[in-house]
Structure 1
Amino acid sequence: MIKIGYLLSYDYEMLLTSVKQLYNYADKIVIAVDSERKTWSGNTFVIPDSFFSEIKIFDKKKKIQFYFDKFYLPSLTPMECESRERNLVLKKMGKGWKIQLDVDEYIYDFKKVSQYLKKYWYLNLFPTLTPICFQGKLITLFRELPDGYLYIENDEKFPFITNQTKNIHTRRNDEIRNHFLNIKVIHQSWARSEEQIHLKIKNWGHRDDFDTESYFQFWKTLNSSNYEQFQDIHPIVPNIWNFLKFMPSSSIDDFIKKYSLKNDQIPIDLPVKKIFKTAVKKIIKQ
């Protein structure tokens, strides 16, 4: 089975854009919401009842399950709260291929991802012997402008699919085999209104990792005329975001459509023999 896990908070409005990309090819979708409506920083957010009604109407095949729990603990840092919540969601999803997404991450042409994972269904028979984490490639949207989007397209990888029920840190598990899947995931990230960005940087897991207010002021200066002047702009590891690109677009759906037409999803096959050799060695040791 292919299961999707989302963490839902103040940016709930982006969820349907993501879910629409994969709904027809997922078996189960788990959406985690803090029962006290607290962010990882302990701030309160509101999700209107109309949102849940909209999801219910959309979910015609009854694949979506909401998971309410207390995900903010004042004794933990925002990043520790994030890691804890992601692991709770993994356990909630159970056995199978588990795809861990944020609501602003969009996997276009998800049918190819589904076909790829089903080809390796047998790796879920005894997942403790064949543990694996798949990494994708992020296409980071950095600024929404009146005439389109500034975005970053390089080799930034991130883990998001596993057959395990526990991560080591956020979505990462460096203690098991990691395989670059070469699937592109559009991340709306910083391409939001000024109000939404201010809310994000006060509440996300990276709240304490850099001077968020100073970076916010820099972000506001960018436009479709001056973006080429700036390089190495990632707030924590500068060269990860080496330079910006611009695509004229009328909406996020328009950007996804235009980008997908020029960039096919071409997943890279797994080294199956190596995986089974490792599994055999584990059995022998036991």
Structure 2
Amino acid sequence: MIKVGYLVSYDYCFLLTSLKQLYNNVDRIYLAIDKDLKTWSGNDFELPQTFFDELKAFDSDNKIEYYFDSFYVPDFSPSMCETRERNMLAQRMGKGWLIQLDVDEYIYDFEKVSHYLKKYWYLNLLPKKTPIVFRGKLITLFKKLPDGFLYIENNEKFPFITNVPKYIGARFNNNVRNHFTNIAAIHQSWARSENEISFKIKNWGHKDAFDTKNFLALWDSLNSTNYKDFRNIHPLVPEVWNELQFLQSDSIEEFIDKYSKKNKQKLIYIEPKKILKALLNKVFK
């Protein structure tokens, strides 16, 4: 089975866009929501009834399952809360190909990803003997402008699919084999309103890791005439976001459509012989 889990919080409004990319090609969808509506920083957020109404209307095949629990721990840092919640959600999701996405991550052409995972169905026969993490690449949207989006395309790698989840930091698990798949996901990340960006900076898992005030000022100063003047702008690892690009579009849906047509999913497969050899070595060890 192919299962997808989301951590739903203050940026819930992006979820439907993500779901529309993959809904028809997954078996189950899990939404983890703090039962007290607390962020990892302990701040309150709201989930209007319209959010649940829209999901109910969208969920034609009854694939969505809600998982309410206490995900905020006062003595934990935001990043520790995130890792804890991801592991709790993974346990709730059970067995199979387990995909964890943020609500603002959009994997286009997901039918290809589904076929890719089904090709390796045998890795879930004895998953503890054949643990693996599949990594993809992020296309980071940095700012929504009146006539389009500024974005970063530098193949920033992120782990998001596994058959044996045991996260040690956010979605990372470096204790098992990691394979880069080249699966591309558009990440809406910073392409939000100024109020949304300000709230994000105060509540996400990295809020204590950099000067958020200066970074917000940089973000605010960018426009369609000066963006080429800025390089190496990632707040934690500058060179990861080495340059900005621009794609004219009126909405996120149009951006996804235009970008996906120019950048087809080109997946990197694992040689079956290598997988089978590793499997046999572990089974008969």
The one-letter amino acid paired with 2:210 is F
1:166 deviation in Å?
1.8
Q: Distance in 2 between matches of 1:144 and 1:250?
A: 9
| 1:193 aligned partner | 193
| 2:6 aligned partner | 6
1:213 deviation in Å?
1.2
| 2:126 aligned partner | 126
1:244 deviation in Å?
0.3
1:245 deviation in Å?
0.2
**Which secondary structure does the structure 1 equivalent of 2:51 belong to?**
helix
1:277 deviation in Å?
2.6
Q: Distance in 2 between matches of 1:271 and 1:30?
A: 31
Q: Distance in 2 between matches of 1:271 and 1:38?
A: 44
| 1:105 aligned partner | 105
Q: How does 1:57-206 map to 2 (within 5 A)?
A: 57-206=57-206
| 1:43 aligned partner | 43
Q: Distance in 2 between matches of 1:74 and 1:32?
A: 18
Say which is worse superposed, 272-281 or 95-104, in terms of deviation. 272-281
TM-score by length of 1: 0.98
**Which secondary structure does the structure 2 equivalent of 1:216 belong to?**
helix
**Which secondary structure does the structure 2 equivalent of 1:224 belong to?**
coil
Q: Distance in 1 between matches of 2:110 and 2:44?
A: 33
The answer to whether the 8 Å contact 1:91/1:166 transfers is no
Q: Distance in 2 between matches of 1:33 and 1:272?
A: 38
Say which is worse superposed, 166-175 or 269-278, in terms of deviation. 269-278
* Gaps in structure 2 of 5+ consecutive residues: none
Q: Distance in 2 between matches of 1:276 and 1:76?
A: 41
**Which secondary structure does the structure 2 equivalent of 1:112 belong to?**
helix
1:282 deviation in Å?
2.7
1:73-98 Cα distance to aligned partner (Å, 9 max, x none): 01111000000000111111111001
| 1:248 aligned partner | 248
1:108-136 Cα distance to aligned partner (Å, 9 max, x none): 11000001101111100100011100010
1:39-98 Cα distance to aligned partner (Å, 9 max, x none): 000000000011101101110100000100000001111000000000111111111001
The one-letter amino acid paired with 1:239 is E
**Which secondary structure does the structure 1 equivalent of 2:197 belong to?**
helix
Q: Does 1:261 align with 2:261?
A: yes
Q: Distance in 2 between matches of 1:283 and 1:22?
A: 34
The one-letter amino acid paired with 2:129 is L
Say which is worse superposed, 267-276 or 6-15, in terms of deviation. 267-276
Runs of 4 or more above 3 Å deviation = none
